[in-house]
Amino acid sequence: MSEIEFLIKDNKEIKEQLKTIEKQISSLKEQKNKENINTALETVKKDVSYSLTNYLQNNLKKELNHSLNDSCSLKKDCNNLFEEMIQENIRQANQKGITPEYKNKIKKKIHEVRLTAPTKECNSCLDNIEQMTFNHMDLLDSINNQQKFEQQNDTSINNEKILKEVLEPVTNKQRLQILEKLAEDNLSHSELSKLTKLRGGNLLFHLEKLKNANLIIQKHERSNYIITKKGYNILLSLSRLEKTLKEI
């Protein structure tokens, strides 16, 4: 074998070895990145869960006050009853999780209150309480349960669905602002108008975009706007994405 042939052969072997080393390094990097991402996501989940629990507890009296009739002589009694129930929901979510059986138990409890309610007017307050209670449980459940996407390596997405239901509705400063504020409290049309500096048809256009994507709802024509579980989860996902980008 000539010296040139020997060098060519030796060079090929070196290249093969380098390729093997590159694959090993790439595999190690991929594994390390996954570990870092999983650790970051777990930390974010715990932080969000803690923040959400604190927010719900601190804001509970205000939400109950909005949900119950000011002119009713039983408001104080109902306030105490439902505050205790919702605090128990929060403890249940953090300790054991919200199961379908637990939801049925709460639904049955509210139904029993309806049956013993002294007037028909109580139904309006009970509707508000039931909506608020199950919104809380859905939000807490979505945080405290194991998130499926954290355990998945598949990066494929449904392009059309993501564009239509996620990206298009939130790729606007005012609509993101609306979602953020509704995550803190239910707001009226006039309050959102003051917040966004939008009037009339301009504000309605953005609200309809969010409603059509099922990110917010309005129970009645003149009632406050409420963020949905889907809207809140998208907001959480955007928050996680922002934190991930800061770490890159």
To the question of domain 157-248 being in CATH 1.10.10.10, the answer is: yes
Q: What is the pLDDT of residues 180-223, one digit of tens each?
A: 888 888 889 999 999 899 988 899 999 999 999 999 988 777 78
Q: What is the pLDDT of residues 124-144, one digit of tens each?
A: 899 888 888 888 887 777 665
Strand partners, 187: 225
Is the pLDDT at 54 greater than 90, yes or no?
no
Q: What is the pLDDT of residue 177?
A: 92
Q: Is the pTM of this model over 0.85?
A: no
Domain boundaries, the chain: 1-32, 57-146, 157-248
Across the range 60-81, mean pLDDT stands at 88
Q: What is the pLDDT of residues 222-244, one digit of tens each?
A: 788 998 888 888 888 888 788 77
| Count of CB atoms situated within 10 Å of the CB of 224 | 17
Whether 225 contacts 186, CB under 8 Å? yes
How far apart (Å, rounded) are the C-alpha atoms in residues 247 and 154? 22
Q: What is the pLDDT of residues 88-135, one digit of tens each?
A: 888 888 777 788 888 899 999 999 998 988 888 898 899 888 888 888
Q: What is the pLDDT of residue 163?
A: 84
Q: Is the dihedral of CA 60, 65, 69, 71 positive or negative?
A: positive
Residue type, 215: L
Q: What is the pLDDT of residue 41?
A: 54
The 8 Å CB, 24+ separation contacts for 118-123 are 118/74, 121/69, 121/72, 122/74
| Coil vs helix vs strand at 217 | strand
Instruction: Identify the burial level of 234 via C-beta atoms within 10 angstroms of its C-beta, where 0-12 means exposed, 13-18 middle and 19 or more buried.
Output: buried
Is the pLDDT at 4 greater than 60, yes or no?
no
- In three-state form (DSSP H/G/I as H, E/B as E, the rest C), the secondary structure along 31-88 is HHHHHHHHHHHHHHHHHHHHHHHHHHHHHHHHHHHHHCCCCCCCHHHHHHHHHHHHHH
